[in-house]
Structure 1
Amino acid sequence: MRRSVAVRLSALLATGALAAATGAALSTASTAEAAVAASGATGFATQNGGTTGGAGGQTVRATTGTAIHQALCSRASSSTPIVIQVEGTINHGNTSKVSGDSCSTADGVIELKQISNVTIVGVGNGAVFDQLGIHIRQSSNIIIQNVTIRNVKKSGSPTSNGGDAIGMESDVRNVWVDHTTLEASGGESEGFDGLFDMKDNTQYVTLSYSTLRNSGRGGLIGSSESDTSNGYVTFHHNLYENIDSRTPLLRGGIAHIYNNHYKSLNESGINSRAGARAKVDNNYFEDSKDVLGTFYTDAAGYWQVSGNIFDNVTWSERSGDHNPAGPNPTSNTSVSIPYAFTPDAASCVPSVVSQTAGANKGLKVSDGSCTPQTPDPTEPGPTDPDPDPTDPDPTDPPTGTNLSLTAGADGTSKASGTSYGNVRDGNMSTYWSPAGSTGSVSVKWGSATTVSKVNIREAAGAEGNIGSWRVVNHDTGAVLASGSGAGVIGFAPTSLQKITFQITGSSGTPRIAEFETYAS
């Protein structure tokens, strides 16, 4: 075992003996049990039609791996949406193959194969997958949230999932892994492989608010220099701690890596190679070695860097197939990001990530201003039912005072000559435009303010340019409404300090003259 990985084993093993799963293996969840807050996918998982998992489907409870498989196999079809709430310890002793027309499962691994529209979420006292990995293959629209996966081995006993905590392969699309803890107890010589691996045409994946630690390998995108069909992966607000290498290893494709805390990377960190392009923004690298570069190959990769902090990072000399980007990393490519995001400043990333990353942290997220927020499960989200038909039409003209007139404003980007403040100045002749075809603008107050309608007014000459959009409670990340085209947008009354209008598609340059907000 590498000494660098071994030093934290005592803390890992001190978590106690494994509990056997008890009680009903599978049951229909009550309304209270179903109240698990999931704000909605972020990053590249929002593209290609988005990632909603089992939203809108039946919610069931499982306390064994066999019960998870049974829930998948009991669906009407392999694409019938389902939310599987997991509590307890899932291990080899309680994970067996289940057969059915809507599933293809196997013993000793949670197999998500040739299926779609599934959410697996830890609830109650937590969900631990012990020595048992999750394998996603030929599947799409999958969410894995609030679970711990530990000590998965590819050699020794028992083995599972090729040694990967989470492994994706063979035409996988749209996966969001959020608030998970993925950990091992050593490197390859101890029988472990990667914590988070993607290969053989896996695309549109986000890993967010997760902890990856005590492993020789953090994860990879692409299994070899010729496996370059993977990509469009976002890594944000994750903690990588006591990892030897691959945080991640990128072979081809595009990755967006921001607001992660890297601590004790022992040999190398982000390894961009074989033509991969990584946008590396506002990360905090600490007590680590060679945190970015092209390593162990002469097939170069590329990076765009900005806003990162390097705290006690050492850099090796460039030699042969070892090409670190430091000691003063500079960009050698440009990467365009198609979705809206609001990064925290790198200086507060350790604090934010320590409060939000990992399972059983209350699904806390950052609001982009270095302030963790706890999602409110009562907030409306994208899977909420339509408003009561007896309620007033949400598109009726708003009444009362435009609350934006006394508010502040900010956003993710702005075109030259435009201003965020123009959307709340009451002047239709001024406007804000994003720097590209998509972007977001927010209205914010110093204290909680109740809003139930917004009115998006486009500037003269730009009518109809706004395509698809989302209105987001920026405090929690909850999606209040989504649709296309400007105008009046209604939703359930919501108390918040910041509301965001995200433009996710457009037919021309968006120009928002006014982002009006109303209580009714």
Structure 2
Amino acid sequence: MRRPVALRLKAGLATMAVAAAVGMALSVPEASAATGGVTGFATQHGGTTGGAGGQTVRATTGTAIHAALCGRASSSTPIIIQVEGTINHGNTTKVSGSSCNTAADKIELKEISNITIIGVGGGAVFDQLGIHIRDASNIIIQNVTVRNVKKSGSPLSNGGDAIGMESTVRNIWVDHVTLEASGGEAEGFDGLFDMKDNTQYVTLSYSILRNSGRGGLIGSSESDRSNGFITFHHNLYQNIDSRTPLLRGGIAHVYNNSYVSLNESGINSRAGARAKVENNYFKNSKDVLGTYYTSEAGFWQASGNILDNVTWSSPGSDTNPAGPSMPSNTTVSIPYSYTLDGASCVPNIVALTAGANKGLQVSNGNCSPQTPPQSPSASPSSPRPSTSPTPPTSPTPSATSSPSGPNLSIGAGSDGSSKADGTSYGNVRDANMTTYWSPSGSTGDISIKWSTAKSIARIIIREASGAVGAIGSWQVINADTGAVLKSGSGAGTITFGATSLTKVTFRITSSSAVPRVGEFETYAG
């Protein structure tokens, strides 16, 4: 039932007063229609629409996010909060109001519903500050990075979880986010994506989870079996010790994910859980599926997965690995429609689409990225503002458009810091993906050079077969001046402001395996 005009006007004036106090901008939505839409189990139980249809506001601090929640007419009034900039302890305080229940040490989505939080513009980074969802429903979180959230040491936030859900949570869609830590429990970190105490109907899609001891769990103990109906698809799990995820009870659907360097164990189905595991790609990993660290069995239905250099433990009293052939021991019925990409191309499509600041691209079902067109008839379940041009410091490569003009690397020269036996600098500019350059170690430089200056605004780094997903962090450097033109992680298309130079360097500063650069393409635009 709509409230009287006078009350709605009063609520609007209250919101404007709060906004003025914390520097929160009220804005017209950058895009009124959706692109793409919610997927997986978040489509069930009435669906997930987030803040669709509500007011759109812009926030550049954690306090402003809390003020937007507290300025609503009620705890269920829909709202879309566009976030830009770095959110941290220094700019996040508790805000009080009848429509919120916030805290200073985390972004608190407690006892509320109908919320969308989406990163826009130059990107949104929650630095050492977790997002806590408790006693809440119908929430969408998109296009944000959450990093280095600690449960011990300083500063503390959210029990050490990047995104944590607990205590009767329903219908959550987390999409195109980057969740990362800098170590495991010994370094003060906990889970990247945790669900417990009656959390259901959740989808995690097109996201990156990396550099953590624990990917995430469903259920906090063997007796916490009230959680379930969770979908994980088109995510990258990289350099994770375990829990990708850990399942205790309930049902999970795990498909088209790319797993690289799972150091101790991967999908851990236990305590009666049932997982449908389809068309995933596991690389350089150990014990990627099974029941681990407990005698209480879990179950799985596995098909279409690719195992690339995967090792397995021997069965024991508390170890029941699924491998090496991963036969199914249950069947799992999925109530929604979905399209499977072939497992062989999963590392590539995930590299192009997963994570924050990738243009919210998705797979077209045939392993190619696409940005679904906006239209008035699009589903309101995923309000996606149009993204601003990617700034030079974007943390991930972009693959939102095709290059224009010829590949300027053809006919150019090349050199580098080192090369592994059997590889050549010239292999990155021969238009042949069967040849490649590798550094002599796990990091190194590869450069394209010309006798006269060229204007370059775009490069494409293509990884050779057998090493897709190996490249970690990188810098693109104007070798004439030493200036860093762009930094980020993962291979793909990288754009920056047009720069005139005679030599451009791609510097790999970290990797999950020995990198293999098949082609280093350069373009004017």
Q: Does TM, scored on the shorter chain, surpass 0.5?
A: yes
Correspondence 1:7-406 to 2 at 5 A = 25-31=23-29, 33-34=30-31, 37-378=34-375, 380-383=377-380
Partner SS state of residue 346, structure 2: helix
Q: Is the 8 A contact 2:33 2:376 kept in 1?
A: no
Partner SS state of residue 215, structure 2: strand
| TM-fit CA distance, 1:35 | 5.7
Q: Is the 8 A contact 1:37 1:363 kept in 2?
A: no
| TM-fit CA distance, 1:362 | 0.3
Q: Is the 8 A contact 2:33 2:379 kept in 1?
A: no
| TM-fit CA distance, 1:328 | 1.0
| TM-fit CA distance, 1:369 | 1.1
Q: Distance in 1 between matches of 2:290 and 2:303?
A: 15
Q: Is the 8 A contact 1:243 1:265 kept in 2?
A: yes
Q: Distance in 1 between matches of 2:330 and 2:271?
A: 14
Partner SS state of residue 67, structure 1: helix
Partner SS state of residue 42, structure 2: helix
Q: Distance in 2 between matches of 1:183 and 1:383?
A: 29
| TM-fit CA distance, 1:375 | 2.7
Q: Is the 8 A contact 2:112 2:137 kept in 1?
A: yes
Aligned length: 361
| TM-fit CA distance, 1:76 | 0.4
Unaligned runs of 5+ in 2: 1-20, 382-525
Q: Is the 8 A contact 2:33 2:378 kept in 1?
A: no
Partner SS state of residue 30, structure 1: coil
Q: Is the 8 A contact 1:364 1:373 kept in 2?
A: yes
Amino acid at match of 1:30: V
After superposition, give the CA deviation of every residue in 1:396-445 in whole Å (9 maximum; x if it has no partner): xxxxxxxxxxxxxxxxxxxxxxxxxxxxxxxxxxxxxxxxxxxxxxxxxx
Amino acid at match of 2:178: T
Amino acid at match of 1:360: N
Moved more, 251-260 or 35-44: 35-44
| TM-fit CA distance, 1:322 | 1.3
Partner SS state of residue 216, structure 2: strand
Amino acid at match of 2:24: L
Partner SS state of residue 192, structure 2: strand
| TM-fit CA distance, 1:319 | 1.6
Amino acid at match of 1:61: R
Task: Compute the TM-score of the two structures, normalised by the length of structure 1.
Answer: 0.68
| TM-fit CA distance, 1:143 | 0.2
Amino acid at match of 2:343: A
Q: Assess, with a 3 A threshold, how the Cα gap between structure 1 residues 379 and 284 changes in structure 2: closer, same or farther.
A: farther
| TM-fit CA distance, 1:87 | 0.2
Q: Considering only aligned residues, what root-mean-square deviation do their CA atoms show, in Å?
A: 1.4
| TM-fit CA distance, 1:28 | 1.5
| TM-fit CA distance, 1:29 | 1.7
| TM-fit CA distance, 1:382 | 2.3
Q: Is the 8 A contact 2:87 2:126 kept in 1?
A: yes
Amino acid at match of 1:25: G
| TM-fit CA distance, 1:161 | 0.1
Correspondence 1:459-478 to 2 at 5 A = none
Partner SS state of residue 316, structure 1: coil
| TM-fit CA distance, 1:24 | 7.6
Q: Distance in 1 between matches of 2:319 and 2:32?
A: 49
Q: Assess, with a 3 A threshold, how the Cα gap between structure 1 residues 144 and 209 changes in structure 2: closer, same or farther.
A: same
| TM-fit CA distance, 1:379 | 5.9
Partner SS state of residue 323, structure 1: strand
Unaligned runs of 5+ in 1: 1-22, 385-520
Q: Is the 8 A contact 1:24 1:63 kept in 2?
A: no
Q: Which residue of 2 aligns with 1:512?
A: none
Q: Distance in 2 between matches of 1:28 and 1:152?
A: 29
Q: Distance in 2 between matches of 1:294 and 1:274?
A: 9
